[in-house]
Structure formats: C-alpha cells, structure tokens
C-alpha cells in the first residue's frame, strides 16, 4: 500500500496532526493530483476552533485544505483530456446530488502530498502563474469575485465598503477596483490591513473602532451611503456597523462565517430604505477559469498575495499565525 503525509483534523477532539495515510487511487472520472501548494484560510481556523462543523463529512476526521494547485500524477478511467504532468487548480468544492460539498471540509482536501479530484473540478493552470498564486484562486479570490459580481451585483461607479482586508477582503478590494466600483472604503482594525487595502486599490481605509466611521463614509459618498457592503471578516459587530452606513436599496453581503446570531437593531430604517442582507458561499463554477484567464492576461496580479510558503509539517504554526495575525499574512501557503 502506497502512503502519503496528510494534515488531518479529528473532529470530536478538534486536534490537528500530520499523519501517514493511504495514498488514494483515482477511480473512474477522477485523477490523483500531486499537491504543489495549498492555502490556509480563516475557515480552517474556524474548523479547528469548532465554530464551523462539516455538514456532510461521513467520518470523524478529514484532511484539511480547500485551496489547492498541483500536477496530475495518476489518471483514473475516463479521465478525459487530462495527462500526467498537467498543471492544475482544483475547485474548492463539488456538487453531489445538487448539494455543495466543500473540499477539505466535507471530503479530503489538499494539505497532503496528493489529493483526489473529479475531472470536472480541475482547471488548467498556465505556466505563467506560479502554483502558490494559482492555489489561492479557488476561494481567496473566487469567493470575493462571486460575492462582488454575482451576489452583490456591484456595478461601475457604485460606492462600496469592504469589512476585513485579509485573504478574502484584500482580493475583494482588488476585484472591486477592477470592475470600477467607486469609492472603495475598506474597514479593518489592523493598521497593516488598512495599509494593504490602500495598496490594493481602496480609496479610503478606516479603523473599525473609529467613532467617526459613519460620518467619514457619509462624506466619502456625498451623503448617499454605500450601495454594497461586504463582510469579509466573519465578525458579528461588522454586520451592525455596515448596515448603518448602507444607503437606500443598499445590499450587505455576508461572506465571513460566524456561529453568532445576526442582529438588526434599527429594522425600521432597514425596511424604509428597502435594504437587503444576502448570504454568500463560494462562487459559480466559471469563477475560477475566469480568474485564471484574467491573471494570465495580465489584468489581475496575485504576486503580492502569498505572504510565506511553509512545509506541510508547519500547518499548525500557519493556522496559529493566521489566527493571531502574526506578520499580518494575506495568505500562508503549505508546500508538501
Ligand atoms: N462564504 C464563503 O464562501 C467563505 C469562503 C472562505 C472564507 N470565508 C470566511 O471569510 C472570513 C474571512 O476569511 P479570510 O481567510 O479572509 O480571513 P483573514 O483572517 O485573512 O481576514 C480577516 C480580516 O478581518 C479583519 N477583522 C477582524 N475584526 C474586524 C472588524 N470588526 N471589522 C473589520 N475587519 C475585521 C481582520 O483584521 C482580518 O484582516 C472567515 O470568516 C472565513 O471563514 C467564507
């Protein structure tokens, strides 16, 4: 039996360990991918802490990692156009009986030497995009892309707000800039995240603790308020703060995940202004190939997005560094 190293989360105890496990064999319609890079997301932190629990996982443990890039190592039957050695990016989830299963949550992910992938969840990664940058396209870039373009429906020249300028939010700012939103107001308690927001294209970056925040957003939008606000933090207080600075027909899009209640203090104002709160998860299937094409075509640049590359054995350290914001990472990448 061939084996491989994998970072496994045991759900009943929420313990993380690097284990030697059986190397999977691709079945019909699957390939085995040799993992070259896998991103670390705050959702992994939520899974380890216990605020996020897999909905569909059949067993008690799972290999984490939903942001994965690598090379095709082995072909199952009916593996279509794929060849051994092809550079690929893996979709962060797949539909099973019409339900979304998330990679590295509901089935084994890519914090491992190898990962199985259904052929319809693979996308070719051009040589011009390094594996580390390619790995974060599914999720760290595709989720804000879906939130901004589909759920939020942002149109050019609309004033927008981004709460949380970490892995998702930094790309949210970059993507809003690319589609012509204006002004882009970023909100984050961390000074380094606010600096990053300005570097990624925000017009204004505010501290979430700033008592003048509402007045400053009012001034930046000519009194109109925001057309769309995005929670990329997963912090309950963000929702209340963002709703207060939405304008008429404004949309608040909830991307960040929290197990805390959603509260709306001034619901009369909310109804009177006909505002909306929209849940968002993942992205449409075409998001990843669209973003690969935009990066390959020079329209988007993810070279600033990879903060550090760490070996698989340092997964727990990477998780802790993302949690504590040590070194203010955008994305930490694991390399088996
Ligand atoms: N809905 C989805 O499909 C989906 C997909 C991936 C991640 N997520 C969730 O999105 C969230 C962000 O993930 P990430 O990997 O970008 O996290 P991250 O840790 O890289 O970034 C979070 C940012 O939020 C900031 N923040 C904390 N408190 C804040 C506040 N009160 N106001 C504004 N900003 C605040 C932090 O300083 C940090 O910069 C997480 O909750 C994650 O689980 C959701």
- As a three-state string, the secondary structure of 31-72 is EEEEEEEEEECHHHHHHHHCCCCCCCCCCCEEECCCCEEEEE
pLDDT tens profile 280-296: 999 999 999 999 999 99
**Ligand 1: distance of its center to the CA of 111 in Å?**
20
Phi, psi of 286 (to 5 degrees): -80, -5
**Alpha-carbon radius of gyration of the chain:** 20
Query: Considering the chain, what percentage of its residues have pLDDT values greater than 90?
Result: 100
Topology of 3-136+305-335 in CATH?
Quinone Oxidoreductase; Chain A, domain 1 (3.90.180)
In this structure, the residue with its CA closest to atom 25 of ligand 1 is 164
pLDDT at position 249, please? Answer: 98
pLDDT at position 8, please? Answer: 98
Contact at 8 Å (CB) between 148 and 176?
yes
In this structure, the residue with its CA closest to atom 7 of ligand 1 is 43
pLDDT at position 313, please? Answer: 97
DSSP code per residue over 83-133: -TT-EEEE-SEEEETTEEEEBTTTB--SSBSEEEEEGGGEEE--TTS-HHH
pLDDT at position 226, please? Answer: 98
Which residues' Cβ are closer than 6 Å to ligand 1? 41-43, 46, 139, 143, 163-169, 187-190, 193, 208, 232-235, 237-238, 255-257, 280-282, 322
Give the model's confidence band at 33: pLDDT under 50 very low, under 70 low, under 90 confident, else very high. very high
Q: How deeply is 308 buried, as exposed, middle or buried, from its count of CB atoms within 10 A (0-12, 13-18, 19+)?
A: middle
Q: Locate CATH 3.40.50.720 in the chain.
A: 141-279
Average pLDDT over residues 155-172: 98
Average pLDDT over residues 8-32: 98
Please state, in angstroms and rounded to a whole number, the distance separating the CA atoms of residues 336 and 72.
Answer: 15
Tokens in use for 30?
Answer: 């699957």
Residue 100: beta bridge partners? 95
Average pLDDT over residues 42-58: 96
Task: Specify the ligand 1 atom closest to the Cα of 208.
Answer: 32
Query: How many separate helices (H) and strands (E) can be counted in the chain?
Result: 10, 18
Please state, rounded to an integer, the average pLDDT across all residues of the chain.
97
pLDDT at position 45, please? Answer: 97
**Ligand 1: distance of its center to the CA of 119 in Å?**
30
**Ligand 1: distance of its center to the CA of 329 in Å?**
12
**Ligand 1: distance of its center to the CA of 165 in Å?**
7
Does domain 141-279 fall under CATH 3.40.50.720? My reply is yes
pLDDT at position 207, please? Answer: 98
Q: Locate CATH 3.90.180.10 in the chain.
A: 3-136+305-335
pLDDT tens profile 74-127: 999 999 999 999 999 999 999 999 999 999 999 999 999 999 999 999 999 999
Average pLDDT over residues 230-259: 97
Please state, in angstroms and rounded to a whole number, the distance separating the CA atoms of residues 40 and 315.
Answer: 8
Give the model's confidence band at 257: pLDDT under 50 very low, under 70 low, under 90 confident, else very high. very high
């Amino acid at each position: 039996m061939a084996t491989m190293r994998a970072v496994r989360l045991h759900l009943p105890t929420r313990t993380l360990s690097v284990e030697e496990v059986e190397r999977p064999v691709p079945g019909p319609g699957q390939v085995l991918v040799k993992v070259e890079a896998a991103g670390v997301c705050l959702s992994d932190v939520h899974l380890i802490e216990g605020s996020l629990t897999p909905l569909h996982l059949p067993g008690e443990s799972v290999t984490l990692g939903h942001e994965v890039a690598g090379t095709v190592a082995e072909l199952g039957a009916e593996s279509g156009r794929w060849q051994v050695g092809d550079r690929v990016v893996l979709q962060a989830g797949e539909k099973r009986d019409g339900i979304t299963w998330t990679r590295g949550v509901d089935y084994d992910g890519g914090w491992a030497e190898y990962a199985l992938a259904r052929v319809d969840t693979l996308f070719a990664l051009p040589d011009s995009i390094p594996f580390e940058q390619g790995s974060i396209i599914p999720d760290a870039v595709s989720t804000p892309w879906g939130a901004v373009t589909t759920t939020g429906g942002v149109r050019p020249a609309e004033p927008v707000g981004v709460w949380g300028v970490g892995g998702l939010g930094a790309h949210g700012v970059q993507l809003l800039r690319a589609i012509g939103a204006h002004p882009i107001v970023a909100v984050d308690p961390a000074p380094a995240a606010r600096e990053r927001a300005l570097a990624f294209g925000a017009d204004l970056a505010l501290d979430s603790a700033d008592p003048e925040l509402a007045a400053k957003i009012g001034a930046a939008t000519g009194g109109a308020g925001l057309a769309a606000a995005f929670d990329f933090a997963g912090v309950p207080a963000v929702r209340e703060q963002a709703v207060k600075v939405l304008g008429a027909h404004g949309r608040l899009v909830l991307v960040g995940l929290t197990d805390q209640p959603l509260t709306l203090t001034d619901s009369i104002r909310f109804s009177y202004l006909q505002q909306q709160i929209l849940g968002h998860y993942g992205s449409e299937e075409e998001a990843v190939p669209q973003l690969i094409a935009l990066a390959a075509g020079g329209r988007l640049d993810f070279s600033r997005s990879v903060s550090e590359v760490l070996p698989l054995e340092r997964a727990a350290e990477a998780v802790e560094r993302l949690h504590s914001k040590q070194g203010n990472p955008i994305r930490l990448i694991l390399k088996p």
